Amino acid sequence: MYELTVLLEENGKEPLYEQIYRHIREEIRQGKIKAGEKLPSTRLLAGHLGVSRSTTQLAYDQLIAEGYLSAVPCKGYFAAGVEGLCEICSEKKNSFDKQTEQERCRYDFSTRGIDADGFPSGRWKKLAREVLSEVDTELFTHGDSQGEQGLREAIRDYVYSARGVNCRSEQILIGAGSEYLLMLLNQIIGEKSVIAMENPTYMQAYRVFCGLGHQVIPISMDEQGIDISELKQSNASLAYVMPAHQFPTGKIMPLGRRLELIAWAAAEEGRYIIEDDYDSEFRYRGRPIPSLQGYDRNGRVIYLGTFSRSIAPGIRVSLLVLPEKLLERYRQFCGFYATTVSRIDQEILARFIQEGYYERHLNRMKGVYRAKHDLLLELLKPFQTRFLIRGENAGIHVLLEERSCEGSDHPLPEDGGNEIRTDRQSVLLREAWLVSQAERGGVRVYGTSRYYVDGQAKTATILLGFARMRAEEIREAVKLLAEAWGITS
Amino acid sequence: MYELTVLLEENGKEPLYEQIYRHIREEIRQGKIKAGEKLPSTRLLAGHLGVSRSTTQLAYDQLIAEGYLSAVPCKGYFAAGVEGLCEICSEKKNSFDKQTEQERCRYDFSTRGIDADGFPSGRWKKLAREVLSEVDTELFTHGDSQGEQGLREAIRDYVYSARGVNCRSEQILIGAGSEYLLMLLNQIIGEKSVIAMENPTYMQAYRVFCGLGHQVIPISMDEQGIDISELKQSNASLAYVMPAHQFPTGKIMPLGRRLELIAWAAAEEGRYIIEDDYDSEFRYRGRPIPSLQGYDRNGRVIYLGTFSRSIAPGIRVSLLVLPEKLLERYRQFCGFYATTVSRIDQEILARFIQEGYYERHLNRMKGVYRAKHDLLLELLKPFQTRFLIRGENAGIHVLLEERSCEGSDHPLPEDGGNEIRTDRQSVLLREAWLVSQAERGGVRVYGTSRYYVDGQAKTATILLGFARMRAEEIREAVKLLAEAWGITS
């Protein structure tokens, strides 16, 4: 095992974890730690350096996320191959300084953000002006801590008709963003829980749960979604899932699996499902399946929705639908929390929904995104010799899963095409290579490994978010991507 | 000891704690539990009824808050005297149904809320319209997770000039309300702490800390504020204080005590002070003392401010100024949390401050509140035979501390005037009597016992918040109060 001695500046400008991260990164870059070499455990290294284990864990997490280390369950941490990574070293910056990192690329297939032109800013502003001119100072006083009654009623009607969510307006909590509502939910539940999450998953939610001290158990996914038998074997009491459109895999959970999941929750007292319905609005094939919440007869589904994604990220409004038992606990323990959304904003949103603008906006955006989606899929046809297209039925991103081949030490072998899976380390290297080649060509794409709790996808898979890009940008970016990856049409 | 058997409906509509609360309340009302009788401990009762201890604790807390029980440290819980309480029984409702409770009274000396007429809604709306017409869709996209740079700079300048807070704009976090920021701070600190709080204190903050699983240690107050020797003897690593205007006592911490507090924090690694500056704007006597944060040279003060109180409760914007070390931890562990305040609202507030409207508003409100304050103090002069007036130098409430007398079983003896303190139980009864008499007379007032962590003030003290009341209402309410309490001018 490699012996690590890091000269730490206790009172330096850089946090300790970052000093450790940089040191190990340099050692790997310079070949002092060789590919495949085992690193000390986080516990050992923490003891050796006299720092806390969370510090070494954070440094390792960062190294894993950037492809310098790979974590092999039950075995430990191993340095990644330096050849594949050297390409990235010179390009890739510490992901803590995010701004400069993104400036380099002309095109960005980010999954964050929405179609900015699609936002009905004129209508929104008009409603805002209306609200401002009509209301008296009443709207500047204390509001209902759950959110205004009018908005909750508008939301109840909308989620019922569009998503099949069955609830009274009293069960709805309005909050400034989904992360805040998860923090509040943590207090409603009131005890540290074991939370099962699909793996890969939405890392923001993962970080919220970990940050709050819950134990998170990643559960594998099969074609239909979260693996129920694995879930049953875990001792989780909460399961966080995205049945309408799993992030990042894009999978839509079929009805059968939904019912199995509900049965899991009903089987034991105190089990709940958190249904994150973040991206249910855009679906291109098949009939929409109602929310899990709508099938639940036992009050075990906590429904989480957001307007940040369906209207605009700047609209900081999300909602939680609580089962009756948790509603009681909310009133008992958390009713004193004042609302986090201004009453004016609530009133604007309520009118936006009530007067039918929200529905119209969604229908328009479905058309806009479908057009981009169809264009992208059309342009990606030549990529199918090397990639499987995944998650193409819904949402605002697709995935390119590389058809991989066996035992090559080159990150992207020329004879791609057969589908034998390579080992995990090589998957990471291949993803990193795809990302860095694209970046050199001027296109920012994203590997899915970053969404795995253990830092590793099973297959090299690239995410392409298309919401923010215009049609001509999509055309140009795919052309550059084909060149960067050596794909001929 | 009284043997309690409560018939609990496990799946009833009422939460278990409320069923227990109601049962014991009835037993006391009907005299089945006699005054002075000892009740089982929360642990014993929980075991006996087969419920969790937090359930029985909650029921007892409620009973203490409403004056049915008193908690004697190291001794246990005792039923309060039924004679004094019978008056209240018929009047007082369970404080969980707050709406109906407040409808009864014509006048309400609540400390919540502000002078609604004082809110510059015209100016605010004009700025809002300006922002809406000038900005493009940019403002609807993702913003800075700490809050917009422009707003943070405006706040930095304001807190520096008005409150002597020394910081870079990078140290400022904007959030939707102080409670949210305390939840975020909990995650920044990252471990369960022992938190010292002034006793009495701001119960919202107390509930947030308890809800997050921190151990809260109440520290006594003397005339200058938090008792430093008691604080030193505690094993607290965090101290939450309100030096500018302690709630509810209205005390202003003098400079010497501030420096002692800072020295306490500096004495050991990892100690921090949370300075809640919620109500620093309104001061009627003496020169304002700069914030604790401004005196701190060791990066140990976390400054918490809010615009909900100084502008309007509907404006959901608060701010945290983090010391450098905690700023690092924020970036490391919590930087992924998206902002909770919409960019539009941030932009409106930034302009409101930058263009000088905030300062003008505050100066105007100082005049408005000073006039109400002076009027109230003038009207309260006849009350001084029976009460000491406290906390009269700042803020938007004053306190009436009853001059008590010895050993009478009547809650409000006729021969008031001497200052010998009665025992704790009788303090609770006297406060309850004052509140219920006022309520019968049509005036809602508030006892301070509810702000004590142990549920008991040392002296019967009544809080009168005057911000929401007009001058003529104050006149009328004080007249009714004098009648209700038998005070002759």
A140 lies within 8 A of chain B by CB: yes
pLDDT of residue A30: 76
Q: B83-142: per-residue pLDDT in tens?
A: 544 333 333 333 344 444 445 689 999 988 788 778 888 889 999 999 988 877 777 888
Q: Where are the domains of chain B?
A: 1-100, 105-117+362-485, 136-355
Q: B273-311: per-residue pLDDT in tens?
A: 999 998 778 888 776 778 999 999 999 999 999 998 888
pLDDT of residue B421: 40
Q: Residue A98: pLDDT band by 50, 70, 90 thresholds?
A: very low
Sheet holding B194-199, edge to edge: B172-175, B318-321, B301-306, B272-276, B238-241, B194-199, B215-222, B225-226
Q: B363-390: per-residue pLDDT in tens?
A: 888 889 999 999 999 999 999 999 999 9
**Shortest Cα distance, chain B CAs vs residue A383, angstroms:** 32
CA distances from B267 to A200, B290, B292, B353 (A): 46, 22, 16, 37
Mean pLDDT of the region A252-264 = 93
Look at the alpha carbons of A117, A123, A128, A133 in this order and tell me if their dihedral is positive or negative.
positive
pLDDT of residue B66: 65
* CB pair distance less than 8 Å for B116 and A137: yes
Q: Residue B145: pLDDT band by 50, 70, 90 thresholds?
A: very high
> What is the overall mean pLDDT for chain A?
85
Mean pLDDT of the region A276-283 = 85
pLDDT of residue B31: 77
Domain B1-100: state its class: mainly alpha
Query: Is the confidence metric ipTM above 0.85 for this complex?
Result: no
Residues B20 and A198: their CA atoms lie apart, in Å, by 41
* CB pair distance less than 8 Å for A207 and B332: no
pLDDT above 90: residue A69 = no
Q: The pTM is what?
A: 0.76
Interface test with B, best of A10, A311, A342, A365 (most B CBs within 10 A): A342
pLDDT above 50: residue B240 = yes
* CB pair distance less than 8 Å for B204 and A336: yes
- List A residues 347-406 in contact with B (Cβ-Cβ < 8 A): none
Q: B391-437: per-residue pLDDT in tens?
A: 888 889 999 999 865 443 334 444 444 444 446 667 888 888 999 99
Residues A337 and B205: their CA atoms lie apart, in Å, by 10
* CB pair distance less than 8 Å for B140 and A128: no
| More confident: B1 or A440 | A440
Interface test with A, best of B278, B340, B365, B468 (most A CBs within 10 A): B340
B13 lies within 8 A of chain A by CB: no
* CB pair distance less than 8 Å for B312 and A116: no
Interface test with B, best of A316, A352, A451 (most B CBs within 10 A): A316
Q: A107-151: per-residue pLDDT in tens?
A: 999 988 788 778 888 889 999 999 988 877 777 888 899 999 999
pLDDT of residue B437: 93
For residue B339, list chain A residues with Cβ-Cβ distance below 8 A: 177, 316
CATH architecture, domain B105-117+362-485: Alpha-Beta Complex (3.90)
3-state secondary structure of B277: coil
Tokens, residue A456:
């590793």
pLDDT above 50: residue A94 = no
Q: A164-190: per-residue pLDDT in tens?
A: 999 999 999 999 999 999 999 999 998
Residues A133 and B304: their CA atoms lie apart, in Å, by 33
pLDDT of residue B279: 79
Tokens, residue B153:
């700079």
For residue A203, list chain B residues with Cβ-Cβ distance below 8 A: 336
For residue B180, list chain A residues with Cβ-Cβ distance below 8 A: 176, 180, 340
For residue A334, list chain B residues with Cβ-Cβ distance below 8 A: 211
For residue A313, list chain B residues with Cβ-Cβ distance below 8 A: 140-143, 338
**Counting Cβ atoms within 10 Å, is residue B371 exposed (0-12), middle (13-18) or buried (19+)?**
exposed
* CB pair distance less than 8 Å for B15 and A328: yes
pLDDT of residue A139: 78
B15 lies within 8 A of chain A by CB: yes
Q: A299-358: per-residue pLDDT in tens?
A: 999 999 999 888 888 889 999 999 999 999 999 999 989 999 999 999 999 999 999 999
Q: B185-222: per-residue pLDDT in tens?
A: 999 998 889 999 999 999 999 999 998 889 999 999 99
SS3 content of chain A, % helix, strand, coil (to 5): 45, 15, 40
> What is the overall mean pLDDT for chain B?
85
Q: Which range scores top for mean pLDDT: A402-416, B20-34, B65-79, B328-342?
A: B328-342
Least CB–CB distance from B140: residue in A121, A143, A328: A121
Q: Taking the domain A136-355, which CATH number applies?
A: 3.40.640.10
pLDDT of residue A167: 95
